[in-house]
Amino acid sequence: MDVRQLQYFVEVAKQKNFTKASQTLLVSQPSISKMIKSLEEQLGVQLLDRAEREVELTDAGALVYEQAVRIIQSMSDLSTSVNELVHVNRGKVKMGLLPTVGALLFPRIMANFKKEFPRIDIQMEEYSAKHVEAQVAKGTIDFGVTVLPVDSHLFETVFLHAEELVVIVNSEHRLAKHESISLVECQDESFILFSEEFALHDVAMQACRQAGFEPKVAYMTSMWDLVCEMVATQFGISLVPKSMAARLNNHRVHSIPISTPHIAWDWALIYRKDRYQSYAARAFISYIQANLPIVR
């Protein structure tokens, strides 16, 4: 059964006339007659009563007409939906990001993107950096924001933001008055580090080892606020991104730039190289590339 057979049949039924249907469809009358006759033969019933001046539906024709209208409408809806999808009028994407990254980079971007693409829904989940990579790798989320480096064989990356790590200490700490310090000056301090599932844990450990010492870890946590409070109460010091230190609302905590070694903290949007990206996901990635202010 050809959908054109149904379209021709429905139009003849509406017009109650082959000639008018021919004019509306811009198809010759013999072609329409042939199509409808073929449809009747396939169904094994007569659909149209051609005896009268106006063509009328038979009982079987009325039943087929009702179903044909639904089928034609469904085909139209399908075509419209695909067209909207292809032209990025609608869709859904899932992304994972670090809690601090979301607060720093995305509120304005997300609001403006939603204005331009109101029918694209973006579902966001917060994960640690390592969990973002794992979720993208598994295909649970379409893309994620994490800390570089990542597996370049597995992921495509869109660079977002670069900053440095700083040392945070109690405001009365012996180092608090320094304009900058070498990380080796902290070798006798106790460190408050993030848990091992956080990329920041590995970066901090590597930086200390690069400076020539193994850090004395007093406590590990997954809570940003707890790190700040423990530093404020002189339980130890910590290494955090500069942007996070700037947002700490605690006068008892002071941040100090690190002169050596240089500790990079680079964020990127990542997605699987070998995975199909929906039109909506590609639209969001392109929007991020075009509109996110890059800080180097």
Q: What pLDDT, on a 0 to 100 scale, did the predictor assign at position 296?
A: 38
Residues 157 and 294 in one domain: yes
Domain match, 293 and 194 both = yes
Query: Which of 54, 86, 118 finishes a domain?
Result: 86
Question: Does 43 share its domain with 153?
Answer: no
User: Which residue range(s) make up the domain with 245?
Assistant: 91-296
Q: Are residues 195 and 146 in the same domain?
A: yes
Domain count, the chain: 2
Pair (77, 99) in one structural domain: no
Query: What average pLDDT does the chain have?
Result: 86
Q: Are 199 and 146 in contact (CB under 8 A)?
A: yes
Say if residue 238 is in the same domain as residue 129.
yes
Is residue 76 scored above 90 in pLDDT?
Answer: no
Same domain? For 76 and 124 the reply is no
Instruction: Check whether residue 261 and residue 196 sit in a common domain.
Output: yes
Domain boundary among 69, 86, 103: 86
Contacts for 44 with CB less than 8 Å, ≥ 6 apart: none
CATH of the domain at 53: 1.10.10.10
Q: CATH number for the domain including 188?
A: 3.40.190.290
8-17, 150-159, 244-253: range with lowest mean pLDDT: 244-253
Q: Domain check: are 66 and 118 in the same one?
A: no
> Domain boundary residue among 86, 104, 136?
86
Calculate mean pLDDT across residues 256-263: 90
| 66 and 166 housed in the same domain | no
CB 237 within 8 A of CB 192: yes
Same domain, 170 and 277: yes
Q: Could you read off the pLDDT of 264-275 as tens digits, one per residue? A: 888 889 999 988
How confident is the model at residue 236, as a pLDDT? 94
Domain co-membership, 38 together with 62 = yes
